[in-house]
Structure formats: structure tokens, C-alpha cells
Chains A and B, each alone.
Chain A
Amino acid sequence: MPKGLLAGQVKVGDALPELGYDVGATTVILGAIATRDWRPMHHDKDFAQKRNGVRDVFMNTPNQAAWFERYVTDWTGPTGRLGRMRFRMHDSVFPGDHMVMRGHVAGVGSDDTGCAWAELDLKLEVGGKAMTTCQVRVALPVDGHDNPWVRRGAQWKP
């Protein structure tokens, strides 16, 4: 079975490796297309400036979710299974920004079905300012034979 991070290897306070990325217009527009978001503020700079009063097109919500998912599963490996994701946008991310994703483990535990969970506090920062904050609940295998993905129905409590 493909290897991934085990619950016993994770403790509160652990930091996830940073991920830095230079955001370009292509990043924003490809992200909008990939999420089938045709609203003009995500691809039309003139519209974004005149209607939204911002300096440029900006990253949309569902694409930021995809970035956070990638960030988490880069850390857990494919055996990590997302249960819940909550995020809040504080400010917009524009072309020309260098975004940095950071995070740490805020909680660990297991539910009454024996599923092991890690609670993560994550940030998408630009210039040291948190533009989006995100809390993720991700299931991790308890050992090399466990696989959170096989859980269904009452055995899956995200």
C-alpha cells in the first residue's frame, strides 16, 4: 500500500513544511477556469479594478481550497483523507504576490470508531500577512495497515 504519514508520527505543535509560490495572472486565471468560475473579476483586470475596486484579478475561493488541499496532502501523503475544511478570506491574492502557505498541528485524537484525526491551522500569507486562514480536519492511518479511505457511512465522522 502507498506510504503516508501515520497518526503516531504527529503531535500538537508540529509545523508543516512551508510552501512558497509566485502568483501570476496565469495562476489566478487557470485557477478560475479549473473551478469553472467564469466571473470576470477572476480573469478581467479592467472589471476587477472598476467594479470591485481592487488592483487586479484575484484568486477565487474554490481554487484556494484546492491549494490548501494540495498543501495538506503534500504533508500527509495519499493516505491522508480530508474530512473538513473551513476557511476565511481576509484579503485578496493578486498576480505579482509571492504567497507562502504555513501551518501547524492544533490537535490530534481519534473518534469512537477508532479513526485518527489531526486538526490543522493553516495560513496563506503574502508579505507576512495572512490573506486566508484555514482549519482542516484530516484523517490519518493509525498504522501501516489502516486506510482511512475505506471508511463509509457511520465509520466516517468528518
Chain B
Amino acid sequence: MSDVAADLPREIQSWIGQKRYEVEGEFEVERGYIFTSCASVENGNPLYWDEKAAQELTGGFIAPPSMISVWFRPHHWAPGRTQQALPLQVHFDLKEKLGLPEAVMTDNTVIFREPVRPGDRLRTWQVLRSVSQEKRTKLGLGRFWVIDVEYVNQHGESVGTESYTGFGYRREA
């Protein structure tokens, strides 16, 4: 990979390029959550509200493309779950393994492919692409990393890819 620090622990080096945490979303794509998303940003696009318009343009209701990551984020609680499940687990693994208690996302690219539709069950996995050497920013001393998240529907069709750049760091006095 183009940006892999030589001082990176071997375990983390082994994650780079590997498919990790493949899971199916805990719940199917549903319109109630689409309305919640649209309400949060006052999105009146008729594709999400008007059945006739949705039928004519997209063959039925779809979900806003920007919701792609919403469908695999676990809910805050589920029966039998003993740990709080975290989305983008590779990001949190890196924080823990590298001893970097704080982190922010600095860059996010999303590519949208097949529309996501109510009733879909999405699968997702994560791939660590790179981890930088230690760098000092105004936030503190830490490392940048890039994680790709792939999403497919129940037919195996890609619905999109997200690429996140995170910065894990320690605050400095």
C-alpha cells in the first residue's frame, strides 16, 4: 500500500487490504427511517414522499443515497447483546491497538451505485487501506488512516462504496 508506516505493529499491518467485519444489517431498509432522515434535513424530494413520482422515475420508492451507511449501523440496544456494537469497527480497533483515545473523521468519499429500496437487506464489510506515520496536528499527535466500506444488496449488487479518512490522536497539554 502507498501509505503504510514502517513502525506499524505487525497485527495492524496484516489488516491492510483484508476484508473484515462482514455483516448483514440488523434490520431491513424501511420508509420510517427514510422519513426520519428526510425530516432531519427537510428534504422534500418527491422520490421519498410521492409514490407516483417514485414509480415513474425509480420504479418505486427508494432511500436517499446518502443514507447508505445508516442501514448497517446497529441500534443503541438489542436483546442479548452484551457489548455496544460500533459501526466502522476497524476505526475503533485502530484507536485501541494504537493507544489513540480520540479520533475524528477528516475526509469521506461515497460512490453510489444501485439504488437502495425499502425491503432491501444490505451486507457490508470494511477494508483498511492505509495507516500513516505519526503526525502532529492542531488536535494532537496521532495517525491518519483510510478505511473503505463496501455495501451490497441481497442480490449481490453493489449499492455503493464509502471511503473514510480518520485521524486518531492523543491530546497534548
Q: Please give the residue numbers on chain A whose beta carbons come within 8 Å of chain B beta carbons, in ascending order.
A: 1-2, 27, 30-31, 33-38, 51-53, 61-63, 65-70, 73-74, 78-79, 81-89, 147, 149, 152, 156, 158
**Contact A85-B45, Cβ < 8 Å, known A34-B40, A36-B75, A52-B102:** no
> Which residues of chain B from 25 to 55 have a CB within 8 Å of any chain A CB?
33, 36-43, 45-47, 53
Q: B57 near A147 (CB under 8 angstroms)?
A: yes
Which residue of the partner chain B has the closest CB to A79?
B57
A65 touching B108 by the CB < 8 A rule? Answer: yes
Q: List 28 A-B contacts (CB under 8 A).
A: A1-B56, A2-B46, A30-B39, A30-B40, A35-B40, A36-B75, A52-B102, A53-B171, A62-B70, A66-B43, A66-B66, A66-B67, A69-B41, A70-B38, A73-B43, A78-B46, A78-B53, A81-B112, A84-B112, A85-B109, A85-B112, A87-B108, A88-B107, A88-B108, A89-B104, A149-B115, A156-B113, A158-B113
The answer on a CB contact under 8 Å between A51 and B36 is no
Say yes or no for B130: interface residue by CB 8 A criterion: no
Residue of B nearest to A158 (CB): B111
How many residue pairs link A and B with beta carbons under 8 A? The number is 116
Q: B residues 95-153 with Cβ under 8 Å of A?
A: 102, 104-115
| Nearest chain A residue, comparing its CB with the CB of B171 | A53
What's the minimum C-beta distance from B55 to chain A, rounded to whole angstroms? 10
* Cβ-closest chain B residue relative to A38: B76
B36, A69: Cβ atoms closer than 8 Å: no
User: Are B45 and A70 in contact (CB-based, < 8 A)?
Assistant: yes
What B residues does A73 contact at CB under 8 A?
Answer: 43, 45
Instruction: For A132, give the chain B residue with the smallest CB separation.
Output: B108
The residues of A that contact B43 with a CB separation of less than 8 Å are: 66, 69-70, 73
Contact of B65 with A2 in the complex, beta carbons under 8 Å: no
Q: Which residues of B contact A52 (CB under 8 A)?
A: 102
The reply to whether A78 and B47 contact each other, CB–CB distance below 8 Å, is yes
